[in-house]
Amino acid sequence: MATKHAVFTFALPEDPDSNFLRIYDADTETGAYTQVGVDITYDYGTISYEFEDLNESKWYKIQFYESVDDQLGPLSEAVDGANFSDRGSLFLAISTSTDGANYASTDDVYEYSGLLTTDVESTRVSQALRRSRSIIDLRTAEMGLDRFLNTFSTSVSRKKYNASLRVLKEAEICFALSMVYSGLSDDKIMEGIRGENAVIENVSIGESSISQDTGAMGSRSYTYFSALSLKYGNIGTSLLAMLESSSIIMTSKEPGALAWYPFGWKAVV
């Protein structure tokens, strides 16, 4: 199988003195992992590594190493090379070099929402995740470790940065679900326009009633899916808002003065 270019994106190691990164692969998720290549020089604060030899038939893990005291960090969660474009874990995410890192996977979306592949096909969820990732990248393009180092110690900054990845992962899942349910709502609207599989809303006339089957996804109305889309969109927006600090002007309104805006310092204009 031909190898591909990918980007390993990861949280910061527990040990700020870590100076090497190791990449491991295995034939199966639970198989025996062996190191790929040699130790890779690592500078604390780096959160990604471009990998030129990803094999889609392999599973991958990474590990940080501190050579002075010969200390190994924990192995990351496993990531499937076959799904590197839409699958990832919190500690390690693999993506194409242009899509940005996926903190969430299709499996994460199904687990979070309780949806099944019989409810919504995985390709639709994967497409929604890519669009959701774009929202995350746009909103957090300037967010990095330096955001916290301006105020906190290195150890506290690492904890805050890694915690922010968890928030971003849940926000990504919620935005993806919002898009999935919005699409399902649009499908129902188009079915009604075309006269296909029109859903009958609950109707009561005297003692007689006509109601839809509430036990099947296919029988739900567009308003049901629209409400779920709004719900998850609001949750995702709220989660991102947690990462945005209020701006604080440090000096007067003099041009060039520094102010703290969401995700970093900027000059007042």
Per the prediction, the chain carries an average pLDDT of 77
Residues paired with 264 in a beta bridge: 261
Q: Which residue has the higher pLDDT, 104 or 101?
A: 104
Model confidence at 86, pLDDT cuts 50, 70, 90, reads: very low
Read off the pLDDT of residues 252-264 as tens digits, 9 standing for 90 and up.
455 555 555 444 5
Q: What pLDDT does residue 40 have?
A: 96
Q: Does residue 82 carry a pLDDT above 60?
A: yes
- End-to-end CA gap in the chain: 53
* Cα(69)–Cα(200) distance, integer angstroms: 69
Q: Decide the pairing of beta strands 20-26 and 40-41.
A: antiparallel
3-state SS, residue 242: helix
Q: What pLDDT does residue 45 have?
A: 85
Q: Rounded to the nearest 10 degrees, how much is the dihedral formed by the CA atoms of 128, 125, 30, 63?
A: 10
For the ranges 40-44, 65-69, 80-84, 172-176, which has the lowest average pLDDT?
A: 80-84
Q: Which domains does the chain have, with CATH numbers?
A: 1-102 (2.60.40), 104-269 (no CATH)
Read off the pLDDT of residues 118-142 as tens digits, 9 standing for 90 and up.
889 988 998 898 888 888 877 776 6
Q: What pLDDT does residue 79 have?
A: 82
Model confidence at 206, pLDDT cuts 50, 70, 90, reads: low
